[in-house]
Amino acid sequence: MALHSAVTAVTHHIPGFIRQPAEALIGPKCYTSLVYDFDLSDVDCLKYALSKGLGLGIVLGGGIVKIPQIMKIISTKSARGLSLSAYILETASYAISLAYASRNHFPFSTYGENFFLTLQNVAITLLILHFSTSSVRADTRKPLTSGQNRSSTGKVVAGLVVAITSGFFLSSSSLCPPRALAFLQAVTLPLSLSSKVPQILSNYSNGSTGNLSAFAVFNALLGCLARLFTTKQEVNDPLIFWGFAGAAVLNAVIAAQMVMYWNKGEGVGAGRRVRAEEGLGEASPMRKVPTEQQPRRWGRKLD
């Protein structure tokens, strides 16, 4: 009782600039119960406050989670190991879920990170398109031709146009009626799951995760796990819940691959190519034989 009295003596005099954001986050009822009256026996409000806190953390994390991946691609000027098809499918899934939640007026704390993830995924997809030609050309150690530069720029522009057009379509109730949007949201369940499969297969075939960001992978896994709780607590929409459940499983597989291939460099596939090239080099007829290994030639001395 003494502790409770001491705490409430503080909580009853919390200044408005702190109280108002807290009330906006967890609601006046739960603020009064949990903070003002310091009643920790209110289980419903505890769950709700935990859900809101997790949701806010996920939204804030979603704003930066893929920045390291973007910076890694830019700094290395390579998208090696990143699956273009995986990012296209994942971006489409994020965009549809964002439109579905926004147009159904779900609490922003339950889907806000989708807004940031969609923008970051669009950026990564455009970078993959831009550097895909550069990466192939880098393998041959030859400079890019003007035609290849134009091709790379054309791909980026086309990708940007598709992204903007898709966003406009999903946000318009006249172009995409609620029933059609609900159908698309149902489609995101297999779409979200299939978006992870190309990346998993790419990691497996290369024996490496390439330029995949560990920060992005592990945060995606933790975010999906947290979203299972917040979705169940605040939205309880089976379409969204099972989408996060499936994504969590496949994100766990990618995280496991990240651990398995942590120090594999360019991967098993790259190692095989290097060994094959070395083998061809040894068999090449143009390769010079060291002088000391050349057969000794005998000739008759002329008088």
pLDDT in tens, 102-155: 998 888 877 888 899 999 999 999 999 888 755 444 444 555 555 556 667 777
Count of all residues that appear for the chain in the document = 303
**204 CB-side CA count, 13 A:** 9
Structure confidence by residue, pLDDT tens digits, 148-199? 566 677 778 888 888 899 989 998 889 999 999 989 888 877 877 777 888 8
CA distance 275 to 298: 38
Cα 34 to chain centroid, rounded: 35
C-beta separation of 42 from 30 below 8 A: yes
Cα–Cα distances in angstroms (integers) from residue 92 to residues 17, 57, 99, 170, 237, in the given order = 39, 23, 11, 10, 20
The reported pLDDT for the residue numbered 120 is: 93
**188 CB-side CA count, 13 A:** 27
Average pLDDT value over all residues in the chain: 78
pLDDT class for 12, splitting at 50, 70, 90? confident
Cα 215 to chain centroid, rounded: 9
Residue 7 identity: V
Cα–Cα distances in angstroms (integers) from residue 214 to residues 86, 195, 219, 254, 261, in the given order = 17, 18, 8, 10, 11
**193 CB-side CA count, 13 A:** 11
Cα–Cα distances in angstroms (integers) from residue 74 to residues 27, 126, 155, 163, 253, in the given order = 43, 11, 17, 21, 26
Other CB atoms within 10 Å distance of the CB of residue 250 = 20
